Chain A
Protein backbone atom coordinates (compact mmCIF):
# COMPACT_ATOMS: atom_id res chain seq x y z
CA UNK A 1 0.00 0.00 0.00
CA UNK A 2 1.27 3.44 -0.97
CA UNK A 3 1.28 6.04 1.79
CA UNK A 4 1.67 9.78 1.62
CA UNK A 5 2.80 12.36 4.14
CA UNK A 6 2.12 16.09 4.09
CA UNK A 7 5.15 17.87 2.59
CA UNK A 8 6.23 19.45 5.86
CA UNK A 9 6.22 16.24 7.92
CA UNK A 10 8.97 13.67 8.45
CA UNK A 11 7.11 11.36 10.83
CA UNK A 12 3.41 10.80 11.43
CA UNK A 13 1.83 8.41 13.88
CA UNK A 14 -1.88 7.76 13.45
CA UNK A 15 -3.88 5.96 16.14
CA UNK A 16 -0.97 3.76 17.10
CA UNK A 17 -1.65 1.02 19.66
CA UNK A 18 0.44 -1.71 21.19
CA UNK A 19 -0.40 -4.39 23.73
CA UNK A 20 2.08 -6.91 25.09
CA UNK A 21 0.66 -10.41 25.45
CA UNK A 22 2.55 -12.31 28.12
CA UNK A 23 2.12 -15.97 27.26
CA UNK A 24 4.11 -17.07 30.28
CA UNK A 25 1.65 -15.25 32.55
CA UNK A 26 -1.45 -16.99 31.22
CA UNK A 27 -1.69 -14.64 28.28
CA UNK A 28 -1.95 -11.51 30.43
CA UNK A 29 -2.48 -8.43 28.28
CA UNK A 30 -0.41 -5.36 29.06
CA UNK A 31 -1.42 -2.29 27.06
CA UNK A 32 1.66 -0.17 26.31
CA UNK A 33 0.41 2.48 23.91
CA UNK A 34 -3.18 3.36 23.13
CA UNK A 35 -4.32 5.30 20.06
CA UNK A 36 -1.39 7.68 19.95
CA UNK A 37 -1.20 10.24 17.16
CA UNK A 38 1.35 12.96 16.47
CA UNK A 39 3.62 14.20 13.73
CA UNK A 40 7.09 15.74 13.55
CA UNK A 41 8.41 18.27 11.05
CA UNK A 42 12.00 18.50 9.78
CA UNK A 43 14.13 20.55 12.15
CA UNK A 44 11.76 19.95 15.02
CA UNK A 45 12.31 18.11 18.28
CA UNK A 46 9.30 16.70 20.09
CA UNK A 47 9.60 15.25 23.57
CA UNK A 48 7.42 12.40 24.73
CA UNK A 49 6.15 13.27 28.13
CA UNK A 50 4.52 11.08 30.73
CA UNK A 51 5.06 9.17 33.94
CA UNK A 52 7.47 6.27 34.21
CA UNK A 53 6.01 3.21 32.51
CA UNK A 54 3.71 5.30 30.36
CA UNK A 55 5.14 3.75 27.20
CA UNK A 56 7.45 6.55 26.04
CA UNK A 57 10.36 4.23 25.20
CA UNK A 58 7.93 1.80 23.59
CA UNK A 59 6.87 4.52 21.16
CA UNK A 60 10.50 5.11 20.14
CA UNK A 61 11.04 1.39 19.72
CA UNK A 62 7.95 1.08 17.55
CA UNK A 63 9.15 3.89 15.27
CA UNK A 64 12.52 2.11 15.04
CA UNK A 65 10.83 -1.22 14.25
CA UNK A 66 12.25 -2.77 17.38
CA UNK A 67 8.76 -3.39 18.76
CA UNK A 68 5.90 -4.52 16.54
CA UNK A 69 2.90 -2.25 16.18
CA UNK A 70 -0.55 -3.80 16.62
CA UNK A 71 -2.66 -1.04 15.14
CA UNK A 72 -2.30 2.28 13.41
CA UNK A 73 0.19 3.83 11.01
CA UNK A 74 3.79 4.89 11.61
CA UNK A 75 4.73 6.81 8.48
CA UNK A 76 8.30 7.99 7.98
CA UNK A 77 9.79 9.83 5.05
CA UNK A 78 12.82 8.11 3.56
CA UNK A 79 14.21 10.01 0.59
CA UNK A 80 11.31 10.35 -1.80
CA UNK A 81 9.43 7.41 -0.32
CA UNK A 82 7.06 7.11 2.60
CA UNK A 83 7.31 3.88 4.58
CA UNK A 84 4.79 2.56 7.09
CA UNK A 85 7.03 1.02 9.74
CA UNK A 86 4.00 -0.65 11.33
CA UNK A 87 3.71 -3.08 8.40
CA UNK A 88 7.18 -2.90 6.82
CA UNK A 89 9.16 -6.05 6.03
CA UNK A 90 12.35 -6.61 8.06
CA UNK A 91 14.47 -5.72 5.01
CA UNK A 92 12.69 -2.39 4.65
CA UNK A 93 13.16 -1.63 8.35
CA UNK A 94 16.87 -2.42 8.04
CA UNK A 95 17.13 -0.11 5.00
CA UNK A 96 15.43 2.65 7.01
CA UNK A 97 17.95 2.17 9.82
CA UNK A 98 20.84 2.39 7.37
CA UNK A 99 19.66 5.55 5.68
CA UNK A 100 16.96 7.34 7.58
CA UNK A 101 16.42 6.59 11.25
CA UNK A 102 19.06 6.89 13.96
CA UNK A 103 18.37 5.65 17.46
CA UNK A 104 20.31 6.38 20.63
CA UNK A 105 19.25 3.88 23.26
CA UNK A 106 19.85 4.12 26.97
CA UNK A 107 22.35 1.32 26.95
CA UNK A 108 25.37 0.64 24.83
CA UNK A 109 25.20 -2.71 23.11
CA UNK A 110 28.36 -3.61 21.22
CA UNK A 111 30.47 -6.53 20.25
CA UNK A 112 33.11 -7.24 22.92
CA UNK A 113 36.75 -6.41 22.23
CA UNK A 114 36.14 -3.55 19.75
CA UNK A 115 37.75 -0.23 20.82
CA UNK A 116 35.33 2.65 21.27
CA UNK A 117 36.96 4.79 18.57
CA UNK A 118 36.28 2.00 16.06
CA UNK A 119 32.69 1.65 17.24
CA UNK A 120 32.04 5.32 16.53
CA UNK A 121 34.06 5.35 13.30
CA UNK A 122 32.12 2.32 12.03
CA UNK A 123 28.91 4.31 12.33
CA UNK A 124 30.49 7.17 10.36
CA UNK A 125 31.61 4.72 7.67
CA UNK A 126 28.03 3.53 7.33
CA UNK A 127 27.25 7.12 6.45
CA UNK A 128 29.63 6.86 3.50
CA UNK A 129 32.75 8.35 5.11
CA UNK A 130 36.06 6.93 3.96
CA UNK A 131 38.44 5.69 6.65
CA UNK A 132 40.38 8.83 7.64
CA UNK A 133 37.27 10.99 7.53
CA UNK A 134 35.36 8.45 9.66
CA UNK A 135 38.14 8.40 12.26
CA UNK A 136 38.34 12.19 12.28
CA UNK A 137 34.60 12.45 12.85
CA UNK A 138 34.77 9.84 15.63
CA UNK A 139 37.63 11.69 17.38
CA UNK A 140 35.81 14.99 17.09
CA UNK A 141 32.62 13.57 18.64
CA UNK A 142 34.39 11.77 21.48
CA UNK A 143 36.34 14.94 22.26
CA UNK A 144 33.21 17.08 22.22
CA UNK A 145 31.60 14.63 24.63
CA UNK A 146 34.64 14.93 26.90
CA UNK A 147 35.57 11.27 26.76
CA UNK A 148 39.23 11.12 27.90
CA UNK A 149 41.51 10.34 24.96
CA UNK A 150 43.25 7.54 26.86
CA UNK A 151 39.96 5.56 26.66
CA UNK A 152 39.53 5.82 22.89
CA UNK A 153 41.59 2.74 22.14
CA UNK A 154 39.81 0.59 24.71
CA UNK A 155 36.64 -1.48 24.40
CA UNK A 156 33.88 0.22 26.41
CA UNK A 157 32.91 -2.87 28.44
CA UNK A 158 34.81 -1.63 31.50
CA UNK A 159 33.75 2.03 31.18
CA UNK A 160 31.47 3.75 33.69
CA UNK A 161 27.78 4.16 32.85
CA UNK A 162 28.27 7.79 31.86
CA UNK A 163 31.28 6.98 29.67
CA UNK A 164 29.40 4.19 27.92
CA UNK A 165 26.49 6.48 27.32
CA UNK A 166 28.76 9.07 25.72
CA UNK A 167 30.20 6.40 23.39
CA UNK A 168 26.62 5.50 22.55
CA UNK A 169 25.74 9.12 21.79
CA UNK A 170 28.90 9.61 19.70
CA UNK A 171 27.95 6.53 17.72
CA UNK A 172 24.38 7.78 17.29
CA UNK A 173 25.54 11.17 16.02
CA UNK A 174 28.41 9.87 13.86
CA UNK A 175 26.07 9.43 10.91
CA UNK A 176 23.59 12.03 9.79
CA UNK A 177 20.05 10.65 9.85
CA UNK A 178 17.03 12.79 8.89
CA UNK A 179 15.10 11.16 11.73
CA UNK A 180 16.56 10.67 15.20
CA UNK A 181 15.11 8.85 18.19
CA UNK A 182 16.72 9.66 21.53
CA UNK A 183 15.90 7.59 24.60
CA UNK A 184 17.09 9.50 27.69
CA UNK A 185 20.39 10.52 26.08
CA UNK A 186 21.49 12.48 29.14
CA UNK A 187 20.28 10.05 31.82
CA UNK A 188 23.67 9.38 33.41
CA UNK A 189 25.57 12.51 32.36
CA UNK A 190 26.76 15.45 34.43
CA UNK A 191 25.91 19.04 33.56
CA UNK A 192 28.90 19.68 31.25
CA UNK A 193 28.30 16.54 29.24
CA UNK A 194 24.56 17.14 29.08
CA UNK A 195 25.41 20.55 27.66
CA UNK A 196 27.47 18.90 24.91
CA UNK A 197 24.52 16.66 24.03
CA UNK A 198 22.14 19.63 23.95
CA UNK A 199 24.50 21.36 21.49
CA UNK A 200 24.63 18.24 19.29
CA UNK A 201 20.83 18.02 19.26
CA UNK A 202 20.59 21.72 18.36
CA UNK A 203 22.99 21.21 15.43
CA UNK A 204 20.96 18.32 14.08
CA UNK A 205 17.76 20.32 14.32
CA UNK A 206 19.42 23.15 12.43
CA UNK A 207 20.48 20.62 9.79
CA UNK A 208 16.82 19.64 9.33
CA UNK A 209 16.56 16.40 11.31
CA UNK A 210 13.24 15.48 12.87
CA UNK A 211 13.85 14.34 16.43
CA UNK A 212 11.68 12.41 18.87
CA UNK A 213 13.08 12.13 22.36
CA UNK A 214 12.47 11.03 25.90
CA UNK A 215 14.25 13.31 28.40
CA UNK A 216 13.96 12.64 32.10
CA UNK A 217 15.31 16.05 33.11
CA UNK A 218 12.63 18.75 32.66
CA UNK A 219 15.24 21.51 32.30
CA UNK A 220 16.94 19.71 29.43
CA UNK A 221 13.61 18.73 27.92
CA UNK A 222 12.46 22.35 27.86
CA UNK A 223 15.67 23.47 26.21
CA UNK A 224 15.72 20.99 23.34
CA UNK A 225 12.05 20.27 22.70
CA UNK A 226 9.83 22.43 20.53
CA UNK A 227 6.72 20.58 21.65
CA UNK A 228 5.68 18.04 24.24
CA UNK A 229 3.54 15.02 23.38
CA UNK A 230 1.68 13.55 26.31
CA UNK A 231 1.93 9.78 26.54
CA UNK A 232 -0.17 7.95 29.06
CA UNK A 233 -1.53 4.51 29.52
CA UNK A 234 -3.98 2.99 29.11
CA UNK A 235 -6.34 5.86 28.28
CA UNK A 236 -6.28 7.83 25.11
CA UNK A 237 -3.26 10.12 24.69
CA UNK A 238 -3.47 13.59 23.26
CA UNK A 239 -0.91 16.04 22.02
CA UNK A 240 -0.21 18.75 24.55
Chain B
Protein backbone atom coordinates (compact mmCIF):
# COMPACT_ATOMS: atom_id res chain seq x y z
CA UNK B 1 0.00 0.00 0.00
CA UNK B 2 1.51 3.26 -1.06
CA UNK B 3 -0.32 6.49 -1.70
CA UNK B 4 -3.90 7.09 -2.67
CA UNK B 5 -5.80 5.08 -5.25
CA UNK B 6 -7.00 8.18 -7.05
CA UNK B 7 -5.48 11.64 -6.78
CA UNK B 8 -6.83 14.85 -8.30
CA UNK B 9 -4.99 18.15 -8.21
CA UNK B 10 -6.38 21.43 -9.49
CA UNK B 11 -9.01 19.55 -11.48
CA UNK B 12 -11.01 22.06 -13.53
CA UNK B 13 -13.71 21.83 -16.17
CA UNK B 14 -15.06 24.75 -18.13
CA UNK B 15 -18.00 24.51 -20.51
CA UNK B 16 -17.10 27.48 -22.68
CA UNK B 17 -17.32 30.44 -20.34
CA UNK B 18 -19.46 28.49 -17.89
CA UNK B 19 -17.83 26.86 -14.90
CA UNK B 20 -18.28 23.13 -14.39
CA UNK B 21 -15.90 22.59 -11.56
CA UNK B 22 -12.85 24.47 -10.37
CA UNK B 23 -9.54 23.61 -8.78
CA UNK B 24 -10.53 20.39 -7.05
CA UNK B 25 -7.91 18.61 -4.93
CA UNK B 26 -8.95 15.16 -3.81
CA UNK B 27 -7.35 11.91 -2.61
CA UNK B 28 -9.26 8.66 -2.48
CA UNK B 29 -7.70 5.74 -0.63
CA UNK B 30 -8.21 2.02 -0.94
CA UNK B 31 -11.47 0.73 0.64
CA UNK B 32 -12.67 4.29 1.10
CA UNK B 33 -16.13 5.58 0.26
CA UNK B 34 -16.30 9.27 -0.57
CA UNK B 35 -19.63 11.03 -1.03
CA UNK B 36 -19.89 14.21 -3.08
CA UNK B 37 -22.92 16.21 -1.99
CA UNK B 38 -24.42 19.50 -3.07
CA UNK B 39 -27.48 20.91 -4.75
CA UNK B 40 -28.23 20.37 -8.40
CA UNK B 41 -25.96 22.58 -10.45
CA UNK B 42 -23.23 22.53 -7.80
CA UNK B 43 -20.89 20.65 -10.13
CA UNK B 44 -20.96 17.28 -8.39
CA UNK B 45 -21.90 15.29 -11.49
CA UNK B 46 -19.30 17.20 -13.51
CA UNK B 47 -16.69 16.25 -10.93
CA UNK B 48 -17.79 12.61 -11.07
CA UNK B 49 -17.52 12.74 -14.85
CA UNK B 50 -13.99 14.15 -14.62
CA UNK B 51 -12.82 11.66 -12.00
CA UNK B 52 -14.18 8.74 -14.02
CA UNK B 53 -12.61 10.10 -17.24
CA UNK B 54 -15.99 10.36 -18.92
CA UNK B 55 -15.45 14.09 -19.25
CA UNK B 56 -12.27 15.68 -20.48
CA UNK B 57 -10.68 18.08 -18.02
CA UNK B 58 -9.79 21.66 -18.88
CA UNK B 59 -6.91 21.81 -16.41
CA UNK B 60 -5.35 19.93 -13.54
CA UNK B 61 -4.03 16.42 -13.05
CA UNK B 62 -5.58 13.05 -12.26
CA UNK B 63 -3.58 9.96 -11.34
CA UNK B 64 -4.71 6.43 -10.57
CA UNK B 65 -2.74 3.64 -8.93
CA UNK B 66 -3.38 0.48 -10.90
CA UNK B 67 -3.65 -3.06 -9.55
CA UNK B 68 -0.01 -3.59 -10.56
CA UNK B 69 0.97 -0.72 -8.25
CA UNK B 70 1.88 1.71 -11.04
CA UNK B 71 0.43 5.20 -10.69
CA UNK B 72 -0.71 6.35 -14.12
CA UNK B 73 -1.62 9.81 -15.36
CA UNK B 74 -5.13 9.15 -16.63
CA UNK B 75 -4.96 11.77 -19.36
CA UNK B 76 -1.89 10.11 -20.84
CA UNK B 77 -3.70 6.82 -21.47
CA UNK B 78 -4.62 5.85 -25.00
CA UNK B 79 -8.32 5.24 -25.62
CA UNK B 80 -7.63 1.50 -25.63
CA UNK B 81 -5.80 1.61 -22.31
CA UNK B 82 -8.55 3.72 -20.81
CA UNK B 83 -11.25 1.30 -21.91
CA UNK B 84 -9.25 -1.64 -20.56
CA UNK B 85 -9.05 0.09 -17.18
CA UNK B 86 -12.77 0.83 -17.18
CA UNK B 87 -13.50 -2.80 -17.96
CA UNK B 88 -11.09 -4.47 -15.58
CA UNK B 89 -10.71 -2.20 -12.57
CA UNK B 90 -13.61 0.23 -12.54
CA UNK B 91 -17.37 0.24 -12.43
CA UNK B 92 -20.00 2.92 -13.03
CA UNK B 93 -23.47 2.82 -11.53
CA UNK B 94 -25.83 5.29 -13.20
CA UNK B 95 -28.84 6.85 -11.54
CA UNK B 96 -31.04 5.59 -14.35
CA UNK B 97 -30.30 1.87 -14.54
CA UNK B 98 -31.50 1.85 -18.15
CA UNK B 99 -28.40 3.90 -19.03
CA UNK B 100 -26.09 1.39 -17.36
CA UNK B 101 -27.76 -1.77 -18.62
CA UNK B 102 -28.25 -3.26 -22.04
CA UNK B 103 -32.01 -3.33 -22.21
CA UNK B 104 -32.21 -5.83 -25.08
CA UNK B 105 -30.10 -8.41 -23.28
CA UNK B 106 -31.36 -10.72 -20.49
CA UNK B 107 -30.51 -10.08 -16.83
CA UNK B 108 -28.06 -12.97 -16.86
CA UNK B 109 -26.57 -11.72 -20.10
CA UNK B 110 -26.07 -8.24 -18.67
CA UNK B 111 -23.93 -9.70 -15.92
CA UNK B 112 -22.29 -12.44 -18.01
CA UNK B 113 -21.13 -10.18 -20.83
CA UNK B 114 -19.00 -8.24 -18.38
CA UNK B 115 -17.18 -11.45 -17.50
CA UNK B 116 -16.69 -12.22 -21.17
CA UNK B 117 -15.26 -8.73 -21.62
CA UNK B 118 -12.53 -9.56 -19.12
CA UNK B 119 -11.69 -12.86 -20.74
CA UNK B 120 -14.05 -15.49 -19.33
CA UNK B 121 -14.86 -18.06 -22.00
CA UNK B 122 -16.45 -21.06 -20.25
CA UNK B 123 -20.22 -20.77 -20.64
CA UNK B 124 -21.11 -22.84 -17.57
CA UNK B 125 -18.69 -20.88 -15.37
CA UNK B 126 -20.04 -17.56 -16.65
CA UNK B 127 -23.61 -18.66 -15.97
CA UNK B 128 -22.78 -19.88 -12.46
CA UNK B 129 -20.89 -16.72 -11.56
CA UNK B 130 -23.66 -14.53 -12.99
CA UNK B 131 -26.25 -16.49 -11.04
CA UNK B 132 -24.22 -16.06 -7.84
CA UNK B 133 -24.17 -12.30 -8.32
CA UNK B 134 -27.86 -12.12 -9.15
CA UNK B 135 -28.53 -14.04 -5.92
CA UNK B 136 -26.36 -11.59 -3.98
CA UNK B 137 -28.46 -8.70 -5.22
CA UNK B 138 -31.60 -10.71 -4.46
CA UNK B 139 -32.72 -11.41 -7.99
CA UNK B 140 -34.26 -14.88 -8.11
CA UNK B 141 -32.70 -17.47 -10.42
CA UNK B 142 -35.95 -17.83 -12.36
CA UNK B 143 -35.69 -14.17 -13.44
CA UNK B 144 -32.25 -14.66 -14.94
CA UNK B 145 -33.47 -14.98 -18.50
CA UNK B 146 -35.92 -12.08 -18.27
CA UNK B 147 -35.22 -8.75 -19.94
CA UNK B 148 -34.44 -5.85 -17.58
CA UNK B 149 -37.43 -4.00 -19.05
CA UNK B 150 -39.66 -6.45 -17.18
CA UNK B 151 -38.05 -5.51 -13.85
CA UNK B 152 -39.13 -2.92 -11.29
CA UNK B 153 -36.93 0.16 -10.79
CA UNK B 154 -35.33 -1.23 -7.64
CA UNK B 155 -34.62 -4.59 -9.26
CA UNK B 156 -33.09 -2.91 -12.30
CA UNK B 157 -30.81 -0.93 -10.03
CA UNK B 158 -29.72 -4.10 -8.24
CA UNK B 159 -29.09 -5.72 -11.60
CA UNK B 160 -26.91 -2.78 -12.62
CA UNK B 161 -24.93 -3.20 -9.41
CA UNK B 162 -24.43 -6.91 -10.09
CA UNK B 163 -23.29 -6.09 -13.61
CA UNK B 164 -20.71 -3.71 -12.18
CA UNK B 165 -19.55 -5.86 -9.28
CA UNK B 166 -19.15 -9.19 -11.09
CA UNK B 167 -15.71 -8.25 -12.38
CA UNK B 168 -14.58 -7.32 -8.84
CA UNK B 169 -13.69 -3.70 -9.60
CA UNK B 170 -11.38 -1.77 -7.30
CA UNK B 171 -13.15 1.54 -7.85
CA UNK B 172 -16.82 2.16 -8.52
CA UNK B 173 -18.38 5.51 -9.39
CA UNK B 174 -22.03 5.95 -8.47
CA UNK B 175 -24.32 8.76 -9.57
CA UNK B 176 -27.36 9.03 -7.27
CA UNK B 177 -27.68 5.22 -7.05
CA UNK B 178 -30.78 5.43 -4.84
CA UNK B 179 -32.32 8.41 -6.62
CA UNK B 180 -35.88 8.07 -7.84
CA UNK B 181 -36.59 4.88 -5.87
CA UNK B 182 -39.27 4.35 -3.22
CA UNK B 183 -37.87 4.61 0.29
CA UNK B 184 -38.45 0.92 1.07
CA UNK B 185 -36.61 -0.05 -2.11
CA UNK B 186 -33.93 2.49 -1.25
CA UNK B 187 -33.34 0.94 2.18
CA UNK B 188 -32.81 -2.48 0.65
CA UNK B 189 -30.36 -1.04 -1.86
CA UNK B 190 -28.46 0.85 0.84
CA UNK B 191 -28.12 -2.36 2.80
CA UNK B 192 -26.74 -4.10 -0.28
CA UNK B 193 -24.26 -1.31 -1.04
CA UNK B 194 -23.10 -1.28 2.55
CA UNK B 195 -22.47 -4.99 2.64
CA UNK B 196 -20.47 -4.79 -0.62
CA UNK B 197 -18.33 -1.99 0.79
CA UNK B 198 -17.91 -3.70 4.17
CA UNK B 199 -16.22 -6.67 2.53
CA UNK B 200 -13.29 -4.39 1.92
CA UNK B 201 -11.08 -3.72 -1.04
CA UNK B 202 -13.70 -1.65 -2.83
CA UNK B 203 -13.42 2.12 -3.15
CA UNK B 204 -16.43 4.17 -4.10
CA UNK B 205 -17.03 7.74 -5.21
CA UNK B 206 -20.70 8.44 -4.77
CA UNK B 207 -22.64 11.49 -5.89
CA UNK B 208 -25.83 12.13 -3.97
CA UNK B 209 -27.98 15.03 -2.90
CA UNK B 210 -29.33 12.93 -0.03
CA UNK B 211 -27.32 13.65 3.12
CA UNK B 212 -28.73 10.59 4.91
CA UNK B 213 -27.49 8.34 2.12
CA UNK B 214 -24.09 10.03 2.28
CA UNK B 215 -23.95 9.48 6.01
CA UNK B 216 -24.90 5.81 5.86
CA UNK B 217 -22.56 4.86 3.05
CA UNK B 218 -19.54 7.11 3.12
CA UNK B 219 -16.45 7.60 5.23
CA UNK B 220 -15.87 11.15 4.03
CA UNK B 221 -18.07 13.81 2.52
CA UNK B 222 -17.09 16.53 0.07
CA UNK B 223 -19.54 19.43 -0.10
CA UNK B 224 -19.67 21.21 -3.45
CA UNK B 225 -20.95 24.62 -4.26
CA UNK B 226 -20.59 26.57 -7.48
CA UNK B 227 -18.08 24.07 -8.81
CA UNK B 228 -15.80 24.09 -5.78
CA UNK B 229 -15.36 21.82 -2.80
CA UNK B 230 -16.19 24.10 0.12
CA UNK B 231 -15.85 21.48 2.85
CA UNK B 232 -14.28 18.03 3.04
CA UNK B 233 -14.12 15.84 6.12
CA UNK B 234 -15.25 12.81 8.06
CA UNK B 235 -18.87 12.09 7.10
CA UNK B 236 -20.46 12.35 10.53
CA UNK B 237 -18.33 15.36 11.42
CA UNK B 238 -19.31 17.32 8.31
CA UNK B 239 -22.99 16.67 9.05
CA UNK B 240 -22.94 17.24 12.82
CA UNK B 241 -20.33 19.98 13.06
CA UNK B 242 -20.41 21.67 9.66
CA UNK B 243 -17.90 24.50 9.34
CA UNK B 244 -18.81 26.24 6.09
CA UNK B 245 -21.89 28.46 5.95
CA UNK B 246 -23.18 26.57 2.91
CA UNK B 247 -22.85 23.19 4.64
CA UNK B 248 -24.66 24.62 7.66
CA UNK B 249 -27.44 25.74 5.33
CA UNK B 250 -27.63 22.30 3.67
CA UNK B 251 -27.71 20.42 6.96
CA UNK B 252 -30.27 22.74 8.52
CA UNK B 253 -32.52 22.45 5.46
CA UNK B 254 -33.04 18.69 5.81
CA UNK B 255 -36.49 17.66 6.91
CA UNK B 256 -36.56 15.47 9.98
CA UNK B 257 -38.71 12.39 9.40
Bound: A236/B215 CA distance, A = 34
A90's nearest neighbour on chain B, judged by CB, is B234
B window 222-257: CB within 8 A of A: 233-234, 236-237, 240-241, 243-245, 248-249, 252
Q: Is A150 an interface residue (CB 8 A)?
A: no
Partner among A20, A23, A93, A112 whose Cβ is within 8 Å of the Cβ of B234: A93
The verdict on A41 contacting chain B, using a C-beta distance below 8 Å, is: no
Which B residues are CB-close (under 8 A) to A20? 241
Interface of B (DSSP majority class): helix
Given contacts A23-B245, A24-B252, contact A65 B191 (CB under 8 A): no
> Does A94 lie within 8 Å of B234, measured CB to CB?
yes
A111–B198 CA distance with the chains assembled, in angstroms: 13
Q: In the complex, A91 Cα to B4 Cα: how many Å?
A: 12
Instruction: Known A90-B219, A111-B216; judge A67-B237 contact (CB<8 A).
Output: yes
**Contact, CB under 8 Å: B241 / A112:** no
Q: Give the docked Cα–Cα distance between A20 and B219 (Å).
A: 23
B248 and A22 within 8 A (CB)? yes
In the complex, B102 has a CB within 8 A of chain A: no
Bound together, the chains give a CA A67 to CA B240 distance in angstroms of: 7
Contacting residue for B241 out of A66, A111, A113, A122, CB 8 A: A66
Residue pair A65, B219 in contact (C-beta under 8 Å): no
Within the complex, the shortest CB–CB distance from B146 to chain A, in Å, comes to 25
Report yes or no: A90 in contact with B190, Cβ–Cβ below 8 A: no
Given contacts A65-B234, A68-B241, A91-B29, contact A113 B219 (CB under 8 A): no
Partner of A24, one of B188, B220, B233, B249: B249
Evaluate whether A24 and B248 lie within 8 angstroms (CB atoms) in the complex, with A65-B237, A67-B241 already known: yes
Measured between beta carbons, the chain A residues less than 8 angstroms from B240 are: 61, 66-67
- Please judge, given known A-B contacts A66-B240, A94-B234, whether A111 and B191 are in contact too, CB under 8 Å: yes
C-alpha spacing A61/B233, complex, angstroms? 15
Other-chain residue from B32, B188, B243, B249 in contact with A68 (beta carbon distance below 8 A)? B243
Answer whether residue A114 sits at the interface, using C-beta atoms and an 8 A cutoff. yes
CB within 8 Å of B: which A28-68 residues: 61, 65-68
**For residue B233, which residue of chain A has the nearest CB?**
A90
Q: Mark B178-199, 1 if CB is under 8 A from A, else 0.
A: 0000000001101100100010
Q: Which residues of A contact B220 (CB under 8 A)?
A: 90
**Which residues of chain A from 203 to 226 have a CB within 8 Å of any chain B CB?**
none
Nearest chain B CB to A70 CB, angstrom units: 10
Which residues from chain A contact B236 at a C-beta distance below 8 Å? 66
- Docked CA distance A107–B219 (Å): 20
The residue that A112 contacts in the complex, of B32, B190, B219, with Cβ under 8 A, is B190
A111 touches B187 (CB 8 A): yes
B221 → A minimal CB distance (Å): 10
Contacts of B191 in A (CB 8 A): 111-114
Q: Which residue of B lies closest to A113 (CB)?
A: B187
Question: In the bound complex, do residue A23 and residue B248 qualify as a contact, i.e. CB atoms below 8 Å apart?
Answer: yes
Q: Given the complex, which residues of B lie within 8 Å of A68, measured CB to CB?
A: 233, 237, 241, 243
A113 to B243 Cα, complex, angstroms: 32
| B188 / chain A contacts, CB cutoff of 8 Å | 113
Q: Which residue, A61, A67, A68, A93, has most C-beta atoms of chain B within 10 A?
A: A68
1/0 contact string of A71-90 vs chain B (CB within 8 Å):
00000000000000000001
Question: How far does the Cβ of B217 sit from chain A's closest Cβ, in whole Å?
Answer: 9
Least CB distance, A85 to chain B, in whole angstroms:
11
Can you name 14 extra interface pairs (CB under 8 A) apart from A61-B240, A93-B234, A94-B219? A61-B241, A66-B236, A66-B240, A67-B240, A68-B237, A68-B241, A90-B220, A90-B234, A91-B32, A111-B191, A111-B194, A113-B191, A114-B191, A122-B198
For this complex, 16 residue pairs linking A to B, each with C-beta atoms less than 8 Å apart, are A20-B241, A23-B245, A24-B252, A61-B241, A65-B234, A66-B237, A66-B241, A68-B241, A90-B237, A91-B29, A91-B219, A112-B191, A113-B187, A113-B188, A113-B191, A122-B198
